[in-house]
Chains A and B, each alone.
Chain A
Amino acid sequence: MLLVITYSQAARQSLRNVCRAHEDSVVRRFGRAALLESTGFGAFQALRLQAKHGLDVQVERVEPFVESDVPERVREAATAYENRDQSSVPYRQFASGTDYPSPESLRETDV
């Protein structure tokens, strides 16, 4: 999918107009951003906006998140932490002395 983010009032208005006119190509709309279908038409609209508003329009390619692509220890840590007994325990404390990765090690893990 294509993530289009706008950075000015004019660009935001143009994006709204595009989304309103081409609902079929819009996956999701957020205030000043939208996810467009990854099709020639979606890219056409994104490029049009960029041609019109330059740096006020940012276009990024967004991939679907596949959970199984994430290392198992990261997934396990997330599940275990959400199932913890004491909701007030910060993750750092929760993980210390266990096999769960530290926040630092999580930050350094590229997924």
Chain B
Amino acid sequence: MILRVGGQTFCGAVVDLREVDVDTSSDGASIAAAIRGEESRCGVHCPPASPVHARAGYVRPGMGLSTRTALAAAGRSRGLDTPSDDELAAVRSELAALDGDETECPSAPTTAPDADRERLRERVAELRGRVQALESTDRDASNARSKLRDAARRLSELETERVAAVETRERSRALRDRRERRLKLQDRAANLERDARAHLVADLREEFDAAVDSLQAVSAGGATANDRDHPFDVDPVTAALAILRIAAVRAPVVLTVDRFEHPAAAARRLAAPVVRL
């Protein structure tokens, strides 16, 4: 990797910044972000990060970790498959196709109630009758005619609005049909992802246990698998390191914890490039 931080540049598979003037936590986060390809004030040139990096790529005291999700990501990084994969791929591709043709949201026009239109229709008929009555008796109908014109125009506006409202309703229904399909697919994808995760975790459970044991042997005095009530009942730092050991990662991992005798040993045991702060 080539790492640029605080105006200095470092090269190699193992970069030890412990003697360099950097801020352990803020620069650690920046370097980890740069490795993941995110916006960062540090620059890193390295192989692309795997999804494992988003979970366990920055190992620091007090970190949180979704152990199962991270372990599943580690399994994926090694190319493990699950029985859910084919359907998941199909569901995702259908989702992608649905997301593609999202059209504009029709806003529902507010329409006058039917009763208003009915009243106006009666009013128009009444005015029309009055105009005819006045004209047939040769009286001045201009006032009534102007009222009739106004009422007729308003009625035609209401009719137009109603037609528009019906069209909007139909268009909304079509759009919602698609959204309903999308929601179903999203739910299905979430279920399949959960199944896949459970499958990967079950596959890697023993390996994870062994990795935790070997790491705790290094840091010494830790509980062994036999002492733990639950295999995932380990501190996040140990779990993250165990997951990195299991994962096949080519991009560097960032460590600010003191679990290995020196950074090169960390890189060897995790089988990954290491930045140590």
Residues of chain A whose beta carbon lies under 8 Å from any beta carbon of chain B: 6-9, 12, 32, 54-56, 58
Are B179 and A32 in contact (CB-based, < 8 A)?
no
A contact residues around B175 at 8 Å (CB): 55
Are A8 and B105 in contact (CB-based, < 8 A)?
no
B interface residue count range (under 10 / 10 to 19 / 20 to 34 / 35 or more): 10 to 19
Most A CB contacts (10 A, CB to CB) among B179, B182, B187 go to: B179
Are B176 and A32 in contact (CB-based, < 8 A)?
no
> Is B172's CB within 8 Å of the partner chain A?
yes
A contact residues around B105 at 8 Å (CB): 54-55
Q: Kindly state the separation between the CA atoms of A6 and B179 in the bound complex, as whole angstroms.
A: 9
Given A54-B105, A55-B172 in contact, is the A7-B186 Cβ separation under 8 Å? no
Are B186 and A56 in contact (CB-based, < 8 A)?
no
B contact residues around A9 at 8 Å (CB): 183, 186-187
Known: A7-B180, A9-B187. 18 other contacts (CB 8 A): A6-B183, A7-B176, A7-B182, A8-B182, A8-B183, A9-B183, A9-B186, A12-B183, A32-B183, A54-B105, A55-B106, A55-B172, A55-B175, A55-B176, A55-B179, A56-B179, A58-B172, A58-B176
Q: Kindly state the separation between the CA atoms of A55 and B180 in the bound complex, as whole angstroms.
A: 11
Are A7 and B183 in contact (CB-based, < 8 A)?
yes
A contact residues around B180 at 8 Å (CB): 7
